[in-house]
Amino acid sequence: MSGPERHKHAAPERFFAHGPLLEEGCALRAWLLDSELLDPTAIVRLPVRVSRSPQGLGLGTAAVVAPSGARLLDLALDDTALGIALADHLRRAWTERPDVDAWLEGLVSDTDASTVSFAIRRFVGLVDDAVRSGDRNAWRAYPEDAAPELIAAVDDLALSFPVERRRAARYTLRAGGERSLPVLLAALGDERVHARRDAVNRQNAFVGNPPPAPQWIDVPVSTVIEDLLAAIAIPGPSRAFDHRGKVLSTQVLSIPSWPRFLARRRGRSLAEVHAELQPLVDRYWELGGVTQGVDG
């Protein structure tokens, strides 16, 4: 193989969390800006389609593109931190086609409504030709001090692993407490399937009628991640409440954005976050299960 190295998925390392599947309609921009909100130094890895400039001397336009060819997000590239200019990495590939897909690692920052700035820190390689039009994900680096066993537990949440292993992974992440929070935040965009469940409500079915056919839906890993964040960050009630076994809603608090919620509390301990939320949790139980919003 001559020229730059080609990578099929370009995420063999365990220290990168799965991000969203790059397809039309995906919330890539929001995911990227959440990365910046969580940690401005957080590295993301993206497959970027880079065009040659009209003069053929340097970089032209750049965008993350869906397999269908739809442009998901335009990027303003900054390669000043690379030892070798990005155009020099791509020059040979440009002789074969004017637009080249490359895996790039870097930092994101918001610029305007249509473009995200991407400061490149590493040229990983070209996207493998065999999957140039196939499925691919964005990726987000875990914090450098993340515990390896917690990273491995996130990896084990996928449906491809036995149910006992997935259950053990959830337990490990829950037991990690405050140490698990940055790992879980990094994995918020993980769209791998965790489980499949029947969405049909059979409790109100009429007696004598044939049971409704099952409607199977996929539960993504990101849903489990959000549940674990809530289990760790939201305290239990401070005392016993008589709710007669029923509540109006099983959701204690509504937190629209975990990255925003925890970014606003950066520097606080988990105990301090619990102390802030305790009155809201107790109010939920006092009202018989009325969900309250936080940072809405």
- Tell me: the pLDDT tens digits for 197-224? 877 676 666 666 777 777 888 899 999 9
pLDDT at 153 exceeding the cut of 50: yes
pLDDT at 66 exceeding the cut of 50: yes
Q: What is the pLDDT of residue 1?
A: 35
CB atoms within 10 A of CB 157: 27
Confidence of residue 152 (pLDDT cuts 50, 70, 90): very high
Summarize the confidence of residues 76-96 as an average pLDDT.
92
In CATH, the architecture of 9-141 is: Beta Barrel (2.40)
The radius of gyration of the chain's CA atoms, rounded to the nearest angstrom, is 23
Query: Mean pLDDT for the chain?
Result: 86
pLDDT at 45 exceeding the cut of 60: yes
Residue of 266 and 1 predicted with greater confidence: 266
Q: Domain extents for the chain?
A: 9-141, 144-200+215-233, 235-296
Confidence of residue 246 (pLDDT cuts 50, 70, 90): confident
pLDDT at 7 exceeding the cut of 90: no
Q: What percent of the chain has pLDDT over 70?
A: 87
